[in-house]
């Protein structure tokens, strides 16, 4: 008889645990949905980093006083 009482208590405990896990899944889904939304918004923006920039490297003066760029 005690074994059945213990089994019933364990089942009730598992049911509570299952409900808490489901609530946690729902709350994390909402949080990650916000993160995914923010990431897609940032990726969809036009990239302003493609401006024309001066190339990186050293300027070298040749013997003819011409300037060339060394990467």
Distance CA(4)–CA(6), nearest Å, equals 5
**Within a domain: 23:** yes
pLDDT of residue 27: 83
Calculate the alpha carbon distances from 36 to 22, 24, 27, 46, 71 in Å.
21, 18, 14, 18, 39
- The DSSP-derived string for 16-68 is HHHHHHHHHHHHHHHHHHHHHHHHHHHHHS--GGG---PPPSEEEE-TTS-EE
Selected residue with higher pLDDT from 32 and 67 = 32
Model pLDDT for residues 2-61, shown as the tens digit of each residue:
777 777 777 777 888 888 888 888 888 888 888 888 888 887 876 666 667 777 877 777
pLDDT of residue 53: 75
Total domains in the chain come to: 1
Residue 70 predicted with pLDDT over 80: no
Q: Provide the residue range defining the domain that includes 43.
A: 1-47
**Within a domain: 4:** yes
**Within a domain: 64:** no
Distance CA(21)–CA(50), nearest Å, equals 46
**Within a domain: 69:** no
**Within a domain: 29:** yes
């Amino acid at each position: 008889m005690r074994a059945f009482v213990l089994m019933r208590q364990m089942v009730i405990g598992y049911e509570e645990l299952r409900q808490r896990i489901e609530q946690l899944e729902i709350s994390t889904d909402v949080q990650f949905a916000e993160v995914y939304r923010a990431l897609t918004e940032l990726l969809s923006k036009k990239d302003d980093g493609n401006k024309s920039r001066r190339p990186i490297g050293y300027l070298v003066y040749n013997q003819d006083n011409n300037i060339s760029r060394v990467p």
